[in-house]
Amino acid sequence: MSEQLAREPIQVHIRAARQGDLDALLTLETGAFAQDRLNRRRFRYLLLHANACTLVAENEGCVRGYVCVLFSRAHLHARIYSIAVDAHARGRGAGTALLAAAEAESNARRCRDMRLEVHDRNAKAIALYRRCGYRMFAEVDDYYPEHGRALRFEKPLPHAPLRAASGWSHGP
Ligand SMILES: CC(C)(COP(=O)(O)OP(=O)(O)OC[C@H]1O[C@@H](n2cnc3c(N)ncnc32)[C@H](O)[C@@H]1OP(=O)(O)O)[C@@H](O)C(=O)NCCC(=O)NCCS
């Protein structure tokens, strides 16, 4: 397959994650992160008990990516806790679609902005966040288990009523 074809956009359907997605979420996590991974127990807590929203991107009946957003009653920041796309589906718009859906869900919950941390060596993710309108506002040394530095990004949310994440479709 040519590079051009491999990067053709894919149509993804974004929906709320359910317990039945746990295996798919773990597979994505294992493929995306070498360390500091979310385990089954943590995913289950995020799905069932946390003040959080986990969305998955489906294509042709398969879960290709997920995003998990944390909310706080104390303030109005939403926070991208984790986002990952299957290696075979990257570069085709799924990450952008997940980010947009996470922002819409946070906006619907009246959050003022979205924040996130990213490893300063994660060039792909940093490029995605910048392209989607995030700006860096802080750096944190020794943030990751291997002592890596985190960049903190934020994006204001528009406060306009947007559609809920469930039923969102993205793609050409
Ligand atoms: C970061 C990550 C989630 C991005 O997901 P993705 O699905 O590849 O993101 P997108 O496809 O929407 O955008 C990424 C690239 O694809 C390109 N792209 C986006 N939509 C496209 C489309 N419709 N057609 C072709 N290319 C497209 C973008 O221009 C971007 O290219 P570039 O940044 O290389 O210039 C993914 O790389 C990943 O899972 N990485 C491992 C886990 C990780 O690092 N998570 C972030 C932790 S902070």
pLDDT of residue 20: 97
Residue nearest atom 3 of ligand 1, based on CA coordinates: 84
pLDDT less than 70: residues of the chain: 1-6, 160-172
Token pair 């998955």 is found at 56
pLDDT of residue 7: 79
pLDDT of residue 163: 54
- Condensed to tens digits (0 to 9), the pLDDT of residues 82-119 reads 999 999 999 999 999 999 999 999 999 999 999 999 99
pLDDT of residue 18: 97
Q: Confirm or reject: Cβ of 118 under 6 Å from ligand 1.
A: yes
pLDDT of residue 84: 98
pLDDT of residue 73: 80
Domains, the chain, with CATH or none: 3-163 (3.40.630.30)
Residue nearest atom 16 of ligand 1, based on CA coordinates: 91
In the three-class reduction of DSSP (H, G, I as helix; E, B as strand; rest coil), residue 144 is classed as: coil
Q: Confirm or reject: Cβ of 148 under 6 Å from ligand 1.
A: no
To the question of pTM greater than 0.85 for the whole model, the response is yes
In the three-class reduction of DSSP (H, G, I as helix; E, B as strand; rest coil), residue 59 is classed as: strand
Burial of 42 (0-12, 13-18, 19+ CB in 10 A): middle
pLDDT of residue 6: 57
